[in-house]
Amino acid sequence: MILALKKYMARLPEKIWFRAMLFSLGAIAAAAAAEWVGPLIPYEADLEIASGSVGDILTILASSMLAVIAFSVSIMVSAYGSATSTATPRTIALMLADDRSQNALSTFLGTFLFSIVGIIGLSAGYYDDKGRIILFFATIAVIVIISGTLINWIQQLSTFGRMNDLIDRVEQATSKALRWHGQHPYLHAQPPVDIPKDALPVSCDSVSGVVTSIDLSQLQEAAEQQDVTVYLTIHPGKLIYPARPLLYLSGAGAEEADLQPFRDSILVEHDRSFEQDPRFGLVVLSEIASRALSPAVNDPGTAISVLDSGLRCFEVLAAASAEPEKAKYANVHGPVIEMDDLFTDFFIKIARDGAGLVEVQQRIQLCLLALAQSWPDLFAAAAAQASRDALARALDTIVHEADVEDLKARSQKVAGCCA
């Protein structure tokens, strides 16, 4: 429950309604505060502003912002639908969390409510002369903010939801997760070891789902209190079900341990997320490439762009893995994510769907060679295995002799990095 609450609070800033609510409350407070701020002015202003003039400006703002909000929402919904049909539905979560679109929509809504509250206050005689002056200058400030927001929003609309934009978003989210994984390969825990044969398995007590977060500090605290050692067998992204152990406990207190704190340290949800799951981003990238390689789309150029994006993601992983942080939790042994699994999630799925396209197969071999040559200790073995798999799939489809010989030569170069 605590972990779920932490996760919910961490995700609040990504929700459109939350930011819109904050902007709206701020706008309402600004319009209402004009009357309170007026008496604080230590001098009488020479400027005289009729309530009608301010009201006219606010009326124009309110009507125009209502139209802009409706237009913006329709554009965003259209972009979400386009992303679902041209890329993959898994990209929608990243689009919903986009700061620029949330700020734009929240600013428009806040301006609309500011105008409405101001109009109501003027109609009710709420503002005195000083209050109208404050409201006037506040309105000018809002117009300046709206002007800048509209310019940025128009610029964003030219790329929002386009294929390159979607690939960039997934690449950034994947790179972030891979960087964290490289710095904390075992989730801040100790390296994995052989689990004792008499260790106590701890399974989930709920329906099946996907692990989205693991609270290692809570696991460590529970392990210390109950005098046990924890052996994690799952990592974020894994599908779990009642018969699958989440972890094992060993030590003096294992037999009488309260298992609920250990279960509560692992958050299980219906859908995967990008945050602690480095494999998910690679899967989403491969889905974009697979959609592009489908017969209905037939766009190998997008698949090649995805391969280049994935290459950069693995480069981020290599840089982060060079200096991993020390383990923080002595009583917990973390899970391991095999490099073969990462390569399978990304390269092999693209190799499967692009088996008959020589340009895609050539780029796969080139990316594998780049990783194997640049970081042989980290990638060479997995790259060689992926290269052989991709070549085998290509040879089942590609028959032109020159293309076959070229792919074989490229695969041999990748294999040579293991020597």
Q: Does 304 share its domain with 392?
A: yes
Q: Which of 61-65, 128-132, 310-314 has the highest mean pLDDT?
A: 310-314
Residues 190, 304 share a domain: no
pLDDT band at 131 (very low <50, low <70, confident <90, very high): confident
Distances (CA, A) of 214 to 111, 193, 223, 247, 275: 41, 19, 14, 11, 11
- 53-67, 156-170, 225-239: least confident range: 53-67
pLDDT, residue 369, reads: 96
Q: Quick check: is 378 in a domain?
A: yes
Q: How confident is the model at residue 390 (pLDDT cuts 50, 70, 90)?
A: very high
Instruction: Say if 298 falls within a structural domain.
Output: yes
Number of domains in the chain: 3
Give the model's confidence band at 12: pLDDT under 50 very low, under 70 low, under 90 confident, else very high.
Answer: low
Within-domain flag for 84: yes
Q: What are the φ/ψ torsions at residue 127 (nearest 5 degrees)?
A: -100, 140
Tokens of 376: 């042989």
206-232 average pLDDT score: 89
When pLDDT is averaged across residues 407-413 and rounded to a whole number, the result is 94
Bridge partners, 230 (sequence order): 249, 332
CB count, 10 Å around CB of 242? 10
| pLDDT, average across residues 4-31 | 72
Rounded to whole angstroms, the Cα distance separating 34 from 40 reads 10
Closest CA to 313 of 351, 353, 284: 284
In a shared domain, residues 177 and 194: no
DSSP-derived 3-state class of residue 229: strand
Range of the domain at 90: 2-161
Q: pLDDT, tens digit, for every residue of 20-45?
A: 787 778 777 777 776 666 565 655 55
Q: What is the mean pLDDT of residues 309-329?
A: 91
Helix axes 99-123, 129-157, angle to 10 degrees: 150
Region 51-58: what's the mean pLDDT? 75
> What mean pLDDT comes out for the span 8-25?
72
Are 58 and 139 part of one and the same domain? yes
In a domain, 229, yes or no: yes
What is the Cα–Cα distance from 229 to 218, expressed in whole angstroms? Answer: 13
Instruction: Output 412 or 136, whichever has higher pLDDT.
Output: 412
pLDDT at 129: 72
- pLDDT tens figures, 258-299: 888 888 888 888 888 888 888 999 999 999 999 999 998 999
Give the SS3 label for residue 351: helix
pLDDT for 177 beyond 70: yes
Same domain (yes/no): 141, 262: no
What's the pLDDT band for 404 if we cut at 50, 70, 90? very high
Same domain for 197 and 144, yes or no, is no
Does residue 376 register a pLDDT over 90? yes
**pLDDT-based confidence at residue 419 (cuts at 50, 70, 90):** low
Strand partners, 203: 245
- Interatomic CA distance for residues 375 and 383, integer angstroms: 10
Percentage of the chain beyond pLDDT 70 is 92
Q: Are residues 358 and 243 in the same domain?
A: no
